[in-house]
Structure 1
């Protein structure tokens, strides 16, 4: 876990973040729903060692980044937080690396303003603009009501076992989920679903990298990401034996895949 020793004040929230120095292309790490920056700890260290400036932060309402009383989590606010953080640090076209919800947010920012990023890496994240079957639409609509029926005391364990496969990753993931009140997590989940906006003609305007765990069974990622790779004409890196939280299930393999993706990004 990094020391999030820097603060960005935002409407309705306080964002805590850290920046590691380097001379290569900056990399911004955006964690998944209900988690925090520590899910990227192994990758942050490796990226720093490879010379990349690294920004790690907790999304509003996650980890050390707090929501003000009476403020509910929204996807739009989280998207605006990311843009504000890039502005605050004067980052010019960094690589955005987003896991799950973080990948949805990164995709949305690139779609809104392609000039904000030099590259996009989606890690175990669904394709915001990809096609949805009738069954997938129904699953998205019913997911939040189904999760709301799980008792708050059991929800972190249920989510962790659905997200990770190795004992250490399950333990770490459950601890992160346990820090978030159930009502906040349900808002976060609804926000993630809200980023899904099919558009058959849209293609990423920046270099794209795709990484997922072989055993990821959350949402439609296992089917959507291969379709995404084919549509964009890019390779998909599948991490053997890893689930949704691929950065913790298989940290070394995920780090190697991420460094390979970054090495392939053209430099201006």
Structure 2
């Protein structure tokens, strides 16, 4: 449901968000490129019922946070999420992100290591992973490739590539249709900007990695298992789900997040 009743203005954009309030551990959900807060409806409902304080938002230029105002860049996205957390005076929230939202949440934790108490990444690549020459080439070619796809076909093609179930594909088509192709390509370029290889870096807070078994987007299927091994955590693979695993199989993803949150201390505690 498109329902973000609250507004926070920053750099020319009225960022729309929802905050369930309460005294529970705060969770901030950040959606993928071209998507919006609706993708987390199932997670929001489930975790609110368990007593967590749930915050969802639309990134600038997405969903209800239009017009974008300032140009969408990696730095602007980091500033937006950081400012939203500060605006709400959230006490060390758990950052939860899917795809671009996962890249963004990783970047915010790296930039502000004391901001969050934990990180949940869904169907997103490893920001600080070393990249092979082939991966660098594919990343460089992706934006020009997207630019060549006719605008009228882009939402459908992206939905087909992102989801397995028809319900998830239908919502993806709805969301992708809201973002003009030129703006989507810019968002993709910003996503690539968030990748910053540093093989020595380790996430300073508890980490949960969730991936759809059938996710063939970018290098996620190869990078996330490597990331899990490097961090010493167990990757959660959702059987039969695609890139938007939290919509393809919301019950399995809800269960994975819930199980992880039970291991996160009420007060922030670094893993290392």
Residues 22 and 48, structure 1, Cα contact 8 Å, conserved in 2: no
Alignment-derived partner of residue 47 in structure 2: 47
In 1, Cα distance between equivalents of 2:5 and 2:167: 27
**Which stretches of structure 1, 4 residues or longer, exceed 6 Å deviation after superposition?**
none
Residues 21 and 48, structure 1, Cα contact 8 Å, conserved in 2: no
Question: 1:47-196 to 2 correspondence within 5 Å?
Answer: 47-68=47-68, 71-196=70-195
- Normalised to the residue count of structure 2, the TM-score between the two structures is 0.96
Superposition deviation, residue 266 in structure 1: 2.2
Residues 210 and 237, structure 2, Cα contact 8 Å, conserved in 1: yes
Any unmatched runs of 5+ in structure 2? Answer: 268-272
Distance 1:152 1:2, change over 3 A: closer
Alignment-derived partner of residue 5 in structure 2: 5
In 1, Cα distance between equivalents of 2:21 and 2:195: 34
Distance 1:62 1:118, change over 3 A: same
Residues 60 and 68, structure 2, Cα contact 8 Å, conserved in 1: no
In 2, Cα distance between equivalents of 1:77 and 1:66: 15
SS of alignment partner, residue 160 of structure 1: helix
* Mean CA deviation greater in 2-11 or 155-164: 2-11
Any unmatched runs of 5+ in structure 1? Answer: none
SS of alignment partner, residue 15 of structure 1: strand
Alignment-derived partner of residue 33 in structure 2: 33
The superposition leaves residues 114-153 of structure 1 with CA deviations (integer Å, 9 ceiling, x where unpaired) of 1110000111011000111111111100000001000000
SS of alignment partner, residue 114 of structure 2: helix
- Normalised to the residue count of structure 1, the TM-score between the two structures is 0.97
Counting matched residue pairs gives: 267
Superposition deviation, residue 264 in structure 1: 1.4
In 2, Cα distance between equivalents of 1:46 and 1:156: 28
In 2, Cα distance between equivalents of 1:240 and 1:159: 21
Residues 2 and 18, structure 1, Cα contact 8 Å, conserved in 2: no
Alignment-derived partner of residue 270 in structure 2: none
What is the root-mean-square deviation in Å for CA atoms of aligned residues?
1.0
